[in-house]
């Protein structure tokens, strides 16, 4: 049974039973709280909330929906689709549970000859809310379901509400048993892959006053009229009735997948990676078709950005499948042909739809060609420096210069095992204009600096003497000032210096650069950084503390001995930690990046999930056992081929010369390619104290630790803290955890009680506040100074006031917070918004009067400032703005 036929049967069934057939609302529905329509009940929301009187008592529809939160999961699972269709039947104070259950049972299990769907009754299971005895009884009486196929679940699974105060109620979900090949027996509570949910019946019967979570809310009482809201996933029913495994293989999607596979020269079902990409293409093509059909055009914000992202993911997925030619002209017509039976308008409007889509593909293909090359360079650069994260600057460059959206950079970086500094990217976006000027200046200086480095490198490499000595006689080969070669550098300046030879270690291989001084007659330089901007050239960044430095001057380069000892301990500690991870977790836990400096190390490694407390303890134990064994540490130069032959570990993605340095600790226990400085025996590391473990990207984890004396100091601080707590709490150290746990539980209980009392106190004022409503040409204005009320309580107060006046055009402005930081919340009713009043605009007026900023949606917005003395003026400013608006 094709999807269009299932759709027709659903609508016909309910039309024959007195339901008004309501056409699907456009995906761009006029609801300020939604980007797109994301549920079948959205067009009926005003009827359920009581904001509008329904023009009919019962209705049915097949609603187009788009959900964007799961875009990353599309193609990876059988359930996540961007565009989907929700079949629904609705009752507004007409029939209730018994009739809804009867209708659903008949349509699901009735014969196909009678216009129903023909599912085997023996495959049907249902769930009900644990306390809904009535629904459980009705399923047994109406459908004849045995008790074992009527399962009870909690609020999280079987209660529905909108996430805000308003209507809610228990629900009953209908599942189909797909058979033992899909999972274990036992119903939905055991396995929701085998037992697939197809329909949710919501029995809307209660008024909610406060909603804190899916399963945490307060009820006022019963609704004056009980309503029915159901949602049947059309795609899920289709793939069950069509005998395929997932929603991507139904008749409305699979033709695109089949053609995409043909273009790529691959078979669907042959390789998992290819299948995921093909499913992404099938889903996104259909979603883009429907979005453009409903008026969305590609852009950089909100709805346009979602569409642009879908089209670009399609093109990129095809490129990953090896197709570099344009593809939308092949695939979009197939999607239109598959969807036209249900939505004839896509065929009628195909010229416009295709024109928009093809233009976006052309633009992105140009972007992809240039941007991918830059991205690949960025990845190679990051890996060559043993970094696991692309900088915010790199991500910004890809976006600003090459049009790469950040989500594409995130995806491509993840494929390379790298994270992206999203925080840095966002900051640069905020400062885009200033950054553009600074970036141009930086590039100019960098270009000049590169030329200076090249000239100095032409005179030879910089020999590194630091493996065998910390003090080296040398000579100044060159001075670089603002990217230009200079003959001198005066006292107080910060410049770059290249020596003929140096004991200073340049930052590389994860090891931070050395610290120390460079001296000559009457000259003293502090070394603040050491880098290798050009292969073979070591450049010291120095502050001239005394005298004047001259090119060609003889100098004495001296590394800080304590710094170098700490650096050696940290770098050797990193090797020890790497060996310990592989010892505990196995040989696949390979290093993917590191950073170490005196007293501290961090190491990134390949691993799919977080480490338990026991595993972290085992890794720390293995590392310190390796230190305790006083393993010999040696460094040997050998051909790269020989190093690989003896099993020396290399950092993935790093490039090496033909002659490499192999550092060993206890022979095979730790054998790695490494150019860093190390202790001579593992016992000289002293101690490694693991600080924590976290995720830094897909399949990459990070451990951090203190090393040497810093590890001892850290443990001493921990011991002092424990002793202080045991003394304060009058318990023994082994009793401390239990005592603190009990105290935390008591504190949380007290905080909940206080919050409940505070909320009651705040809401007790609502009636008196509402009584002071000021009418302004048909719009009620409620301006209130709620002294001392802040945070969520202020928002709750505004929402509660709005619920009391929801039937009239009203604006609520409440200001609370503290004297130092006043807060403001503005809420509007639907009638006020109809009169052109926007909460986001009004909250900005109030916040600016308070000396701050604010913003939000049309219906609810918040902000704040720093001048509580202006609260009366802020309330008056909002009042004035309302009057000006409603009179104009």
**Alpha-helical runs (H) found in 474-612:** 561-585
Map 124-177 to HEC letters.
Answer: EEEEEECCCHHHHHHHHHHCCCCHHHEEEECHHHHEEECCCCEEEEEEEEEEEE
Q: How far is CA 870 from the centre of its chain?
A: 38
E-strand stretches of 463-619: 471-481, 484-486, 488-489, 494-499, 516-520, 523-534, 537-546, 549-550, 554-559, 591-597, 600-606
Q: Distance between CA 573 and CA 690 in Å, rounded?
A: 11
The end-to-end CA distance of the chain, in Å, is 57
Beta bridge partners of 651: none
Question: Residues within the annotated binding site?
Answer: 571, 575, 674, 678
Map 97-126 to HEC letters.
Answer: HHHHHHHHHHHHHCCHHHCCCCCCHHHEEE
- Token pair for residue 387? 């970094």
Q: Is 74 helix (H, G, I), strand (E, B) or coil?
A: coil
Burial class (CB in 10 A: 0-12, 13-18, 19+), 249: buried
**Alpha-helical runs (H) found in 764-838:** 766-770, 791-804, 830-834
Pair type for strands 20-21 and 58-66: parallel
Rg over CA atoms, the chain: 34
Residues in the chain: 888
Contact of 166 with 49, CB cutoff 8 Å:
yes
Question: Residues within the annotated binding site for Zn(2+)?
Answer: 571, 575, 674, 678
Torsion of CA 486, 489, 490, 496, to 10 degrees: 130
| Residues 695, 426, 607: CA angle, nearest 5 degrees | 10
| All residues at 6 or more sequence positions from 632 whose CB lies less than 8 Å from its CB, including other chains | 664, 665, 666, 680, 681
Q: Distance between CA 797 and CA 780 in Å, rounded?
A: 17
Q: Distance between CA 367 and CA 498 in Å, rounded?
A: 40
Q: Measuring CA to CA, which residue among 741, 718, 714, 715 is closest to residue 729?
A: 741
């Amino acid at each position: 049974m094709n999807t269009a036929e299932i759709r027709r049967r659903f609508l016909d069934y309910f039309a024959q039973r007195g339901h008004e057939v309501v056409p699907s609302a456009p995906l761009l529905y006029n609801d300020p709280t939604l980007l797109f329509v994301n549920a079948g009940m959205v067009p009926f929301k005003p009827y359920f909330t009581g904001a509008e009187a329904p023009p009919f008592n019962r209705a049915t529809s097949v609603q187009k929906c788009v959900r964007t939160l799961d875009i990353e999961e599309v193609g990876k699972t059988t359930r996540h689709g961007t565009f989907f269709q929700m079949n629904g039947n609705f009752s507004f104070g007409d029939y209730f549970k018994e009739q809804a259950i009867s209708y659903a049972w008949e349509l699901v299990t009735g014969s196909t000859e009678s216009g129903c769907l023909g599912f085997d009754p023996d495959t049907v299971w249902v769930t009900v809310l644990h306390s809904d005895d009535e629904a459980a009884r009705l399923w047994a009486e109406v459908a004849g379901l045995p008790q074992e196929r009527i399962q009870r679940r909690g609020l999280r699974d079987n209660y529905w509400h909108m996430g805000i105060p308003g209507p809610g109620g228990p629900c009953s979900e209908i599942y189909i048993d797909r058979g033992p090949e899909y999972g274990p027996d036992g119903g939905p509570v055991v396995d929701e892959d085998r037992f697939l949910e197809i329909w949710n019946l919501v029995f809307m019967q209660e008024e909610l006053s406060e909603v804190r979570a899916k399963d945490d809310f307060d009820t006022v009482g019963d609704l004056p009229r009980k309503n029915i809201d159901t949602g049947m996933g059309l795609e899920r029913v289709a793939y069950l009735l069509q005998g395929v495994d997932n929603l991507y293989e139904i008749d409305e999607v699979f033709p695109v997948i089949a053609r995409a596979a043909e273009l790529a020269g691959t078979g669907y079902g042959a390789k998992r990676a290819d299948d995921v990409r093909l499913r992404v293409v099938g889903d996104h093509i259909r979603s883009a078709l429907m979005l453009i059909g409903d008026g969305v055009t590609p852009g950089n914000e909100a709805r346009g950005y979602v569409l642009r992202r879908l089209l670009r993911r399609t093109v990129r997925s095809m490129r990953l499948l090896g197709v570099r030619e344009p593809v939308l002209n092949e695939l979009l017509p197939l999607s239109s042909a598959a969807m036209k039976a249900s939505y004839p308008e896509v065929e009628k409007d195909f010229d416009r739809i295709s024109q928009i889509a093809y233009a976006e593909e052309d633009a992105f293909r140009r972007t992809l060609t240039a941007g991918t090359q830059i991205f690949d360079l960025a990845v190679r650069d990051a890996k060559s420096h043993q970094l696991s994260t692309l900088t915010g600057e790199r991500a910004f460059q890809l976006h600003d210069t090459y049009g790469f959206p950040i989500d594409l950079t995130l995806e491509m970086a993840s494929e390379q095992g790298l994270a992206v500094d999203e925080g840095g990217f966002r900051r640069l976006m905020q400062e885009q204009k200033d950054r553009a000027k600074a970036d141009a200046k930086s590039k100019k200086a960098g270009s000049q600096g590169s030329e200076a480095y090249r000239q100095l490198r032409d005179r030879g490499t910089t020999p590194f003497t630091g493996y065998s000595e910390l003090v080296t006689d040398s000579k100044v080969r060159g001075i670089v000032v603002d990217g230009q070669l200079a003959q001198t550098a005066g006292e107080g300046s910060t410049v770059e210096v290249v020596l003929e030879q140096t004991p200073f270690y340049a930052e590389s291989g994860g090891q931070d650069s050395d610290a120390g001084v460079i001296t000559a007659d009457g000259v003293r330089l502090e070394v603040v950084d050491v880098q290798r901007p050009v292969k073979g050239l070591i450049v010291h960044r120095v502050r001239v503390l005394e005298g004047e430095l001259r090119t060609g001057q003889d100098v004495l380069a001296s590394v800080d001995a304590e710094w170098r000892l700490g650096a050696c301990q940290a770098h050797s500690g990193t090797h020890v930690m790497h060996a310990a991870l592989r010892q505990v977790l196995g040989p696949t836990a390979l290093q993917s990046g590191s950073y170490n400096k005196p007293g501290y190390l961090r190491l990134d490694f390949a691993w799919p999930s977080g480490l338990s407390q026991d595993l972290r303890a085992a890794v720390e134990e293995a590392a310190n056992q390796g230190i305790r064994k006083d393993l010999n540490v040696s460094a040997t130069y050998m051909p790269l081929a020989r190093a690989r032959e003896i099993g020396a570990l290399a950092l993935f993605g790093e490039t090496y010369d033909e002659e490499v340095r192999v550092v060993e600790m206890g022979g095979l226990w730790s054998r790695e390619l490494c150019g860093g400085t190390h202790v001579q025996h593992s016992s000289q590391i002293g101690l490694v104290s693991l600080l924590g473990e976290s995720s830094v990207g897909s399949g990459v984890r990070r451990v951090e630790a203190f090393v040497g004396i810093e590890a001892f100091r850290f443990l001493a601080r921990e011991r002092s803290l424990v002793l202080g707590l045991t003394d304060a709490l009058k318990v023994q150290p082994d009793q401390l955890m239990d005592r603190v746990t009990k105290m935390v539980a008591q504190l949380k209980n007290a905080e909940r009680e206080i919050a409940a009392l505070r909320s009651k106190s705040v809401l007790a004022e609502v009636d008196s506040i509402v009584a002071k409503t000021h009418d302004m040409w048909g719009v009620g204005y409620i301006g209130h100074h709620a002294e001392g009320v802040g945070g969520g309580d202020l928002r709750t107060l505004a929402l509660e006031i709005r619920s009391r006046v929801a039937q009239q055009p009203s604006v609520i402005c409440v200001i609370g917070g503290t004297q130092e930081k006043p807060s403001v919340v503005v809420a509007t009713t639907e009638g006020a918004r109809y009169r052109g009043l926007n909460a986001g605009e009004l909250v900005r007026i109030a916040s600016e009067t308070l000396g701050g900023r604010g913003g939000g949606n049309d219906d609810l917005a918040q902000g704040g400032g720093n001048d509580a003395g202006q609260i009366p003026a802020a309330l008056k400013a909002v009042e004035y703005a309302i009057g000006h608006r409603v009179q104009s």
